[in-house]
Amino acid sequence: MRISVLIFLFLHIVSFNAEAQSFINGDLNGAIATSSNPTSWINVPNTDVNCQASAAFASTPEVINTTGPDVANGVNGNPFSGGTLLSGLHLKVGIFTTYQEGIMQTVTGFTIGTDYDINLHQTVIKASNALDNTGSWSVYFDNTLIGVTASTTSTMPFNSNSHPWELRTLTFTATATSHVIKFLPTDDDANITNSAGGIRMGLDNLSITSIVPLHIDLLEFNTQNQNDAVRTFWSTATEINNDYFTIMRSKDGLSFEQIGTVNGAGNSNSVLNYVFYDAYPYNGISYYQLKQTDFNSISSLSDIVSVYRDDLSIINIYPNPAGNLIQVVLGYELNTVITVNIYNSVGQKILFSNYQINKGISTINIDVSSLAGGVYSIKIITPFEEYVQQEFIKK
């Protein structure tokens, strides 16, 4: 009978990332011009509740690149990606005219209640009428402010083509399957008077990433030799929509077979423990992996753990009943040192010694002359497992 041991590896289940909703033309490609929108985008009109522009002409952004459209006044710059970027003013001229030049797009396919990251790259495009060097973007879904990005600072002169790009991310929770996402340039200080106080912001490389919660939070997944089986066991801290687990096994760590399933708890916020026994494990090294499947048939895989089972065969113990010497003939797959313990009929360890054995068949001689007459049992311990052999009688 095999008793114990071995290899423990800890892991976390890999997170599952659903496919994100996307902007069409998130790279903001389009025709280079003043009062120009990137393809598939429209400007946020001055009539929009979130736009501060005082007139229609004051709400139209520019699609620009390093060649223009207005290099002399600094309305140009290096895109973050692709051939063009969007630039938009936030400034005030006189008492009556305020510019705020942003873009928006309706994005569909959101999952209500799911969190999404809006990722954008921003820069400051200084222009001759907008020389403020720090600014942000305000992002809205429908009329709700998602957030104002942390500001970016440019130390470049207005006629430079080289602007510092920085990544910003804002998170929101979808409340409908479709939202209008708006981007409006926003000064980070109260003075928006041109030219020293006003800002021209650059925007490029927009994307949306969904943040799907882990369907389970796996605390551990372990394996352990136990008698003739491999015990696989795991525990979860939380479960969301968790249908069942599949236990998978592999001889080479590459090609896995399914060996069983265990029902999940569905939803849980307390620690739950699971166990599955592989009653017919491989000898030598083998690999185990846990697959979790939710009620929508979406699954995720744990890391892979390994277990080693050796294959010691006790061929003979003789003579039985024994005199002063007992011989154990055994077969093993490695050159190694084993420990032999001898127990009396009430389970007390009476003798123990180490023996070198060689790959193949070995015979070890155990001096049992000190034992009183009676019934004893032998346990053999390899570096990987423990084996208990049947009893013998000392004369």
Could you give the C-alpha distances from 312 to 121, 148, 282, 353, in angstroms and in order?
63, 67, 13, 18
Burial 30-67 (b: 16+ CB within 10 A, else e): bebeeebbbeebebbebebebbbbbeeebbbbbbbbee
Considering only residues 16-45, where is the footprint of Ca ion by CB under 5 A? 27-28
For the bound state, the minimum distance from the C-beta of residue 99 to Ca ion, rounded and expressed in Å, comes to 13
DSSP state of 382: -
Among residues 46 and 123, whose Cβ is nearest to Ca ion? 123
**187 counts as binding Ca ion under rule CB under 5 A:** yes
Instruction: Report the alpha-carbon distance of residue 360 to residue 330 in Å, rounded.
Output: 8
Determine the straight-line distance between the first and last CA of the chain, rounded to whole angstroms: 25
| Of 27 and 48, CB closest to Ca ion | 27
Query: Which CB atom, from 137 or from 221, has the smaller least distance to Ca ion?
Result: 137
Distances (CA, A) of 369 to 7, 229, 347: 38, 36, 19
Alpha-carbon distance of 159 to 162, in angstroms, equals 9
| Residue 28 Cβ vs Ca ion, minimum distance, rounded to whole Å | 5
* Binding window for Ca ion (CB under 5 A); candidates: 33-41, 162-170, 180-188, 243-251: 180-188
Lay out the site mask for Ca ion across 93-112 (x = CB under 5 A, - = otherwise). --------------------
State residue 72 phi and psi, 5-degree precision: -60, -35
Q: What's the closest the beta carbon of residue 102 comes to Ca ion, in angstroms? A: 16
Are the C-beta atoms of residues 357 and 336 closer than 8 Å to each other? yes
* Contact track, Ca ion, 252-291, x by CB under 5 A: ----------------------------------------
- State which residue, 28 or 247, has the beta carbon closest to Ca ion: 28
Residues 113-172 that bind Ca ion (CB under 5 A): 132, 134
Segment lying near Ca ion (by CB under 5 A), choices 15-23, 53-61, 73-81, 242-250: 73-81
Residues that bind Ca ion (CB under 5 A): 27-28, 79, 81-82, 85, 132, 134, 187-189, 191, 197, 204
